[in-house]
Structure 1
């Protein structure tokens, strides 16, 4: 085992980097990408400096792995900034405050309203077909409405 460590070549580091990058494809969230890049960087350094001892190779790999993982963690943490479209993919939230026509009469608090080319389930005061209601909230896939006079 020690003989293997004492004769590490740049091919060993490039192979490790390749394996880590392949594992990243299966969903490691970016961390194996950067550790694989650290292994590849050590491989390049080992190619450029063939006399580099295995202790220095492992030390460089460890330091580069930690540095790149911290870089990725910090970048991920600061990349989450507020969206300029906070209701994107929250269709019901986009509808709050808008007025629509009752498609299926609201009876005993339940009915349906026509929204663009679709129909949404609605909960609110009784309303006849064709009357107008305003969306005031959302509970899951059900819009909460109130009648408009």
Structure 2
């Protein structure tokens, strides 16, 4: 695919930082206000009383890097927000589908409702975070 817009190292760093920040903020709000109450009702005994934060932190770093490399940078090179949206939707569906559908298949007590709601959220969250990373990358490029 022909590159229509250069993406330099500063843009990559800004894209990663914006993607990570957006994902942590929107996912944090989602977890607090929707996921915890839903999962407590749906998955009760499977929930930890005190969640471990270090695995979540590692996930956010890995996932933000994947979104940056697979969604943001190719879309920024094309200069198309719509590309970031569809790539984000596809990655979110694949990543969250892997988690939720595998759990539905092998974890006794994992419910269809929890899987579908979380899968939908992961798709939307990845679109939003990827779009913010795209915006940050393009903003840096456009300001020169």
TM-score, normalising length from structure 2? 0.33
Query: Higher relative contact order by CA 8 Å / sep ≥ 6: 1 or 2?
Result: 2
Mark the structure with the bigger radius of gyration. Answer: 1
When you count helix as a share of all residues, which structure comes out higher? 2
TM-score, normalising length from structure 1? 0.32
